[in-house]
Amino acid sequence: MNWMQVEAYLKRDDRAVLPLGSTEQHSYLRLTVDCILPERVAAEAAEPLGVPVFPVLSYGVTPYFREYPGSISLRVETHLAVVRDILDGMAHSGFRRIMICNGHGGNGAVQQFAQEWAADHAGCRVLFHNWWNAPKTWARVQAIDPVASHGSWMENFPWTRLRGIEVPTSQRAMVDMEKVRMLDPVAMREYIPDGNYGGLYERSDADMLSLWQVAVEETRALLDGPWGGAS
* DSSP sequence for 98-128: EEEEE--GGGTHHHHHHHHHHHTSTT-EEEE
- Other Cβ atoms within 10 Å of 55 Cβ, number: 11
Based on its alpha-carbon atoms, the radius of gyration of the chain, rounded to whole angstroms, reads 18
Does 51 reside within a domain?
Answer: yes
Residue pair 54/16 in contact by the 8 Å Cβ criterion: yes
C-alpha angle 178/180/185, rounded to 5°? Answer: 155
Does 178 reside within a domain?
Answer: yes
pTM for the full predicted model: 0.96
Does 229 reside within a domain?
Answer: no
Query: Quick one: pLDDT at residue 227?
Result: 74
Does 31 reside within a domain?
Answer: yes
- In a 3-state reduction of DSSP, which class is residue 29? strand
Does 228 reside within a domain?
Answer: no
Does 230 reside within a domain?
Answer: no
Does 227 reside within a domain?
Answer: no
Residue pair 41/101 in contact by the 8 Å Cβ criterion: yes
State which residues of the chain have pLDDT below 50.
228-231
> Which tens digit of pLDDT belongs to each residue from 148-160?
999 999 999 999 9
Domain range for 199: 3-220
Query: Quick one: pLDDT at residue 187?
Result: 98
Indicate the length of the chain as a whole number.
231
Domain total in the chain: 1
CATH number at residue 198: 3.40.50.10310
Does 203 reside within a domain?
Answer: yes
For residue 14, CA distances in Å to 83, 84, 202, 223, 225 come to: 19, 18, 39, 12, 14
